[in-house]
Amino acid sequence: MSPAEIAAPPANRARWSTRAVEALFERPFADLLFHAQQVHRAHFDANAVQRSTLLSIKTGGCSEDCGYCSQSARHDTRVGRDELMSLDEVRHAARAARDQGATRFCMGAAWRGPKDRDMGEVTAMIREVKALGLETCVTLGMLKDGQAEQLRAAGLDYYNHNIDTAPEFYGRVVTTHTLQDRFDTLDKVRAAGIHVCCGGIVGMGESRRARAALIAELANMEPPPDSVPINHLVAVEGTPMAGAEPLDPFEFVRTVACARIAMPTSMVRLSAGREQMSDELQALCFLAGANSIFYGERLLTTDNPGAEHDQRLFQRLGLKPV
């Protein structure tokens, strides 16, 4: 593939092959970042970064065996098993997030999927958060028929459901559900008129080819996800991935740049792993086209930079929160 072909924007959302994304990964770092910047600036204000705050509304005890996850009941981690949070606690956390400047509130549950009996409480939480003037997002696992419509009726704006890794690597990461199960839920979310938030994790010991395949798979969705979280593995003690080979930080930046180029109009979220990154590395990720973050001192069960630290970083980089 010639550099000109690589640089060309995909015409009418042409399908991305793994090889084409891999060719992006192989470019000199400065060329790749320049390309990502061009694409980013053609579609977004390059100095604007959106902020969402996460809340774990149901922590731990999950039936699934995702190898990276602190919340699987099959892994011996320090994360306990909690009941579903009360509406009061959710309201309190959402108000605090809004007062700190978040514009979206994302509630996560350590479930394979919600039971029908959980839906009343979850939809009440969505209504409550929406009433505070925040955009709403939930990540609850796999959905059964009808559940996406119930969430939409409650005012849900986004559903986060990651494909997490390349198809060829998926079975090495999770065995209790399949990638097809994930696609089925994404179809239900889309059909219900909810925005799709779907991305993955890197740094799990996958190859560059697998990272390229993950990006191609996301970019080839029809349409591509509205929001694409790029998570860096947070290696949690007690999980099978606790000892994963560390990823070269520049390779992480390359992954962000490839996501930006392959999905020009999607929000690309610099997600888990920021606490372990320097400010300089995060700045490179913004240069590579990341334009949203998780904001607030906790992700779900692990630490995230505090709001004050991020406010300072935004100031130092002249970034505008949106």
Cα–Cα dist 280/213, whole Å: 27
Is 285 annotated as catalytic? no
In the complex, minimum distance from the CB of residue 316 to ligand SF4, in angstroms, rounded to a whole number: 33
CB nearer to ligand SF4: pick between 239 and 291 = 239
Is 69 annotated as catalytic? yes
Cα–Cα dist 108/56, whole Å: 5
Query: Looking at 33-41, 103-111, 258-266, 281-289, which segment touches ligand SAM (CB under 6 A)?
Result: 103-111
Q: Tell me the one-letter amino acid at 110.
A: A
CB nearer to ligand SAM: pick between 161 and 188 = 161
Is 198 annotated as catalytic? no
Is 62 annotated as catalytic? yes
Query: Looking at 2-10, 219-227, 284-292, 298-306, which segment touches ligand DTB (CB under 6 A)?
Result: 298-306
CB nearer to ligand SF4: pick between 64 and 206 = 64
Q: Work out whether 231 is an interface residue with ligand DTB (CB under 6 A).
A: yes
Cα–Cα dist 96/116, whole Å: 29
- x/- mask, ligand SF4, residues 30-69, rule CB under 6 A, reads --------------------------------x-x-x--x
Catalytic residue among 27, 51, 62, 152: 62
Catalytic residue among 27, 51, 104, 137: 137
* Count of residues that bind ligand DTB according to CB under 6 A: 16
Read off the tokens for 4: 């000109």
Residues that bind ligand SAM (CB under 6 A): 68-69, 108, 110-111, 139, 141, 161-162, 164, 201, 231, 233-234, 236, 272, 300
